Amino acid sequence: MISSLISHPAFPLAIGSLFIFIFKEKANLISIGSILISLFVLLFITDNIDYVYKSGLASLNYFSYSKLAYLFCLVFLIMGLIGKLFSIYRDSYKEKAMVLIYISSAIFVLFSGDFLTLYIFWEIMAIASTMVIWSSNSDKSLSAGNRYLLMHLLGGLILLLGIIGLYIDTNNLQIRLLNLDTWYNWMILVGFLLNAGAPPFSQWIPDAYPEGSYSSTVFLSAYTTKTSVFILIVTFAGSHILMLIGIYMIMYGIIYALLENDIRRILSYSIVNQVGFMIVGIGIGTELSLNGTAAHAFSHIIYKGLLLMSAGSVIYMINKYKCTDVGGLYKTMPLTAICGIIGALAISAFPLTSGFISKSMIVDASIHEGMQLVWLMLLVGSAGVFLHAGIKFPWFVFFHRDKKIITTDPPIYMKYAMIIASTICIVIGIWPQLLYGLLPYPVDFIPYTGNHVVSQLHLLFFSALAFFISLKYLERTLTLTLDIDWLYRGKIKYIKLLTKYIFSMINKTENIFSFTSLRNKFTTLEDYLLRQTTISAMLILILIIFSVSLIMNIS
Amino acid sequence: MNDRNKIIYTLILLINITPYLYVFYNFKKINFNIDGIIGFYPIFGFLACISLIIIAKILAVVLKKGDTYYD
C-alpha cells in the first residue's frame, strides 16, 4: 500500500499540503518542492501497473496507467509549477495548501481505474476548489463559492446515481467506453458534462472563477474542466450529441464574452468556448479528433494560464477588475502586455503558437468525417475566438484609451512565470512534434501546410477587421449579463417564496431533532448555506472518517 | 501618429496582404467545394464576426442589466 502510494504522482502533493499546515512560513518552498517531486515520480511511471486498494466493502483501483492520463498529469504538474511560481507573493498559506489538494485530487481522478475511486476524488476536487475560491476572503467570493459548491454537489449526486445504476445493472465499475443507451449512462454523462461547463449550466465558470484571488484563478481555470474533458474522452468518445453541446458552448462563450466588462470574466467565458472545441472533438470521436482534443487541452491549459496570469498581474499591481477602469497599460507594463498578447495569439490559434497546432487537428477531423456543417461552425468559432479573447482582451486592457495609470510590471517571480508560459506556447507552436509524441494515438498530421496557414490567417485578419470596424458598438459599459443563475439569484417572487417554504420546513425538522441553536430565519438559498455550519462540518467529518479508515486498513 | 491612424494603416496593410497569401494555397487540396472559392475564408470570417456581434447586441437588449443588479 505505502510503496504503491509513493509511486503515485498525486501523493507528494497531498503530503505537501499537510506539511504546509505545519510549516506555514515555508508554504512556497513546500508547494514547489512537492510539485517537483511529483514530476520526478511521473518520470518513473511504468505502464501496465494497476494498484488496487482492497477492503471488506469495495476494491478501489486508484492507479491505472494510460497514455492519456500521463499527458494530462504532465500538463497539470507543469501548470501547477508555473502557477506556484506566479503565486509566490500571495500571502495565504491556506490557499496554497488547498491548491495542492486540488491538483492532487485532479491527478487522482486521472489515474482512477474505476468509477467509485473517480467519484471519491471528484468530490474532494469539488470541495478543494471551493476552498480555493473562498480563500480570497471577500463577501462576493463567499457567495460565488456557495453557488459553485451547490452546482458541483448537484453534479456529483447525478453522477453517483448513474454510477449506482451502472453497478446494479452490470456489476462492473471499471472505467470504460460507455454507450448512451441506458438511463444511468446518461446520468453519468450529465454529471461529467456539468463539470465541463455544458449548457444550461455553463454559467458557473464565469460566476465563480473570477471571484478567486489574483493567483487562485490561474489554478481554477486549469483543472476542473480539463479533468472532465479527460474523463469524457475515456468514457464517451464518439457520442455524436457531444458535437451539438460543444458547438453551443463555443457560441455561448463568444457571445457572452462580447458583452462582458470584467477582465477575468471575459477569460472565463473563453474557457467555456475552448472547452466547447474539445467537446466537439470528443463527439467526432476519431483517432485524429481525440488526439486533437488531448493536444488542445494541453495547449489550452498553458495559454489560458498565461492569459489569466497577465490579467492577474494587472489586478495585483493596480487592483482594478474592469475593462472600463483600465486601458493604455502597455506603456507601464510592457512585459505583461507582451505575454498577454502571446497568450491571446495562442488562444486564437495564430500560426507558430500552440493553439494553431492543436485546434487545426480538431477542425481537420471534422473535414475527414465529411461533416461540413460542424466544420463551418468550427470556423465561426475560430473567428469568434479572435474577436472576444484574441483582440478584445489585450485591446481593452493594454491599449484603447490611455487611463494614465502609474504602475510597473509585477515583481520578478510573476514575470518569470509569465515568460515560462509564453515560451512553452511558442516552443510547442514551432516544434509540434514535442507534443505530438505524447498523444494517445500515433500522429500522422502536418499542421504547417499552405492551406492550413493561409486559411487561418485569412480568417484572423478579417476577424480583426470586423472587430475594429464595430469597435464603436463593443465599447464596454458598467453592466452585467443575465444568465441561468437569474433563476436562483434573481428577484422572482415565486422562487423566493418557494425557497422560504423549503427552509421553513428544514427549520421545522431541525426543531424535531432539537438543533434549536442552529435555527435561524433563512430567506434565500445562499443565506442558508452561509449561516449553515452543519453542512461544512459534515463534509469535513466524512473526509476525516474516510482518511482514518484508509490509514487503519493499511497492512 | 495617434492610435486610431495606427489601426487604420495596419488594417489596410492586412487587407492588402490577403490576396498574395493565395500563392501558398493549393486549390487542388480543398476539403469541400466551398473553400475552393477565392475569398471564402476572409468573407466567411468577416461575416461570422459581424453576425456574432449583431446577435450579442440583440441579446443585450434583454439580458443586460445594471452592474449592481444582484446586490
Whether residue A190 is found in the same domain as residue A253: no
Q: Cα B52 to the chain's mean position, in Å?
A: 10
A192 neighbors A159 (Cβ within 8 angstroms): yes
Whether residue A130 is found in the same domain as residue A261: no
Whether residue B56 lies inside any domain: the answer is: yes
A389 neighbors A348 (Cβ within 8 angstroms): yes
Q: For A379, which of B15, B30, B44 is closest by C-beta distance?
A: B44
Q: Cα A93 to the chain's mean position, in Å?
A: 22
Q: Which of A488, A508, A543 corresponds to the end of one domain?
A: A488
A358 neighbors A385 (Cβ within 8 angstroms): no
- Residue located via cell numbers 496554497: A96
Q: How many folded domains does chain A comprise? A: 3
- Residue located via cell numbers 504538474: A77
Whether residue A464 is found in the same domain as residue A547: no
Please judge whether A387 and B49 are an interchain contact, meaning their C-beta atoms are less than 8 angstroms apart.
Answer: yes
State the cell numbers at B53. Answer: 456581434
In B, minimum Cα distance to A385 occurs at B49
Separation CA A129–CA A147 (nearest Å): 12
Determine which of A269, A376, A465 to mutate to test the interface with B (most B C-beta atoms within 10 Å).
Answer: A465
Q: What DSSP designation does A347 have?
A: H
Q: Is the peptide bond before A200 cis (omega within 30 degrees of 0)?
A: yes
Name the minimum distance, in Å, from the CA of A291 to any CA of chain B.
Answer: 20
Identify which of A130, A129, A122 has the alpha carbon closest to the alpha carbon of residue A157.
A122
Please judge whether B24 and A454 are an interchain contact, meaning their C-beta atoms are less than 8 angstroms apart.
Answer: yes
Confidence at residue A248, expressed as pLDDT on a 0 to 100 scale:
94
What residues have CB less than 8 Å from A501, skipping those under 6 apart?
none
Q: Which of A488, A510, A530 corresponds to the end of one domain?
A: A488
Name the minimum distance, in Å, from the CA of A469 to any CA of chain B.
Answer: 9
Q: ipTM score here? A: 0.91
**Dihedral sign for Cα atoms in the order A439, A441, A443, A445:** negative
Q: Cα A11 to the chain's mean position, in Å?
A: 21
Q: What is the pLDDT of residues B18-56, one digit of tens each?
A: 888 888 888 887 878 888 888 889 999 999 999 999 999
Please judge whether B46 and A462 are an interchain contact, meaning their C-beta atoms are less than 8 angstroms apart.
Answer: yes
Whether residue A287 is found in the same domain as residue A433: yes
Whether residue B70 lies inside any domain: the answer is: no
Separation CA A291–CA A275 (nearest Å): 15
**Dihedral sign for Cα atoms in the order B60, A275, A379, A354:** positive
Whether residue A533 is found in the same domain as residue A456: no
Confidence at residue A519, expressed as pLDDT on a 0 to 100 scale:
43
Name the minimum distance, in Å, from the CA of A488 to any CA of chain B.
Answer: 11
Confidence at residue A58, expressed as pLDDT on a 0 to 100 scale:
67
pLDDT in tens, chain A (555 residues): 666 777 788 889 999 998 988 888 888 899 999 999 999 988 888 766 667 776 656 677 888 888 899 999 999 999 999 999 999 998 888 889 899 999 999 999 999 988 988 998 999 999 899 989 988 888 888 888 888 888 888 888 889 889 888 988 888 888 999 988 888 999 999 999 999 988 888 889 998 998 888 999 999 999 999 999 999 999 999 889 999 999 999 999 999 998 888 899 999 999 999 999 999 999 998 999 999 999 999 999 999 999 999 999 999 998 888 888 888 888 889 999 999 999 999 999 999 999 999 999 999 999 999 889 999 999 999 999 998 888 888 998 888 888 888 888 888 999 999 999 999 999 999 999 999 989 999 998 888 988 899 999 999 999 988 888 888 888 777 888 888 777 777 666 666 677 667 667 666 665 555 444 444 444 555 555 555 555 555 666 666 666 665 555 543
Whether residue B68 lies inside any domain: the answer is: no
Inter-helix orientation angle A27-43/A67-86, to 10°: 160
Q: For B52, which of A258, A477, A479 is closest by C-beta distance?
A: A258
Whether residue A75 is found in the same domain as residue A205: yes
Whether residue A127 is found in the same domain as residue A81: yes
Q: For B46, which of A259, A465, A477 is closest by C-beta distance?
A: A465
Whether residue A137 is found in the same domain as residue A191: yes
Identify which of A11, A32, A10 has the alpha carbon closest to the alpha carbon of residue A96.
A32
Whether residue B69 lies inside any domain: the answer is: no
Helical H runs in A319-399?
Answer: 334-347, 354-368, 372-385, 392-398
User: DSSP per residue over A378-440, as a string?
Assistant: HHHHHHHHIIIIIIHHHHHHHSSS-------PPPHHHHHHHHHHHHHHHHHHH-THHHHTTSS
Please judge whether A255 and B59 are an interchain contact, meaning their C-beta atoms are less than 8 angstroms apart.
Answer: yes
A388 neighbors A266 (Cβ within 8 angstroms): yes
Q: How many folded domains does chain B comprise? A: 1
Whether residue A166 is found in the same domain as residue A54: yes
User: DSSP per residue over B1-56, as a string?
Assistant: --HHHHHHHHHHHHHHHGGGGGGG--GGG-SSGGGGSTTHHHHHHHHHHHHHHHHH
Whether residue A98 is found in the same domain as residue A222: yes
Q: At CB < 8 Å, which residues of chain B contact A? A: 3, 7, 11, 14-15, 17-18, 21-22, 24-26, 29-32, 34-35, 41-46, 48-50, 52-53, 55-57, 59-60, 62-67, 69-70
Whether residue A193 is found in the same domain as residue A333: no
Q: Which of A438, A466, A488 corresponds to the end of one domain?
A: A488
Q: What DSSP designation does A492 have?
A: -
**Beta-carbon pairs below 8 A across chains A and B:** 135
In B, minimum Cα distance to A252 occurs at B56
Please judge whether B32 and A367 are an interchain contact, meaning their C-beta atoms are less than 8 angstroms apart.
Answer: yes
Confidence at residue A138, expressed as pLDDT on a 0 to 100 scale:
83
Q: Half-sphere exposure (CA, 13 Å, Cβ side) for A465?
A: 21
Whether residue A483 is found in the same domain as residue A497: no
Given a cut of 80, whether residue B60 has pLDDT beyond it is yes
Range of the domain at B48: 3-63
**Which amino acid is residue A472, in one-letter code?**
K
Confidence at residue A367, expressed as pLDDT on a 0 to 100 scale:
92
Range of the domain at A534: 491-552
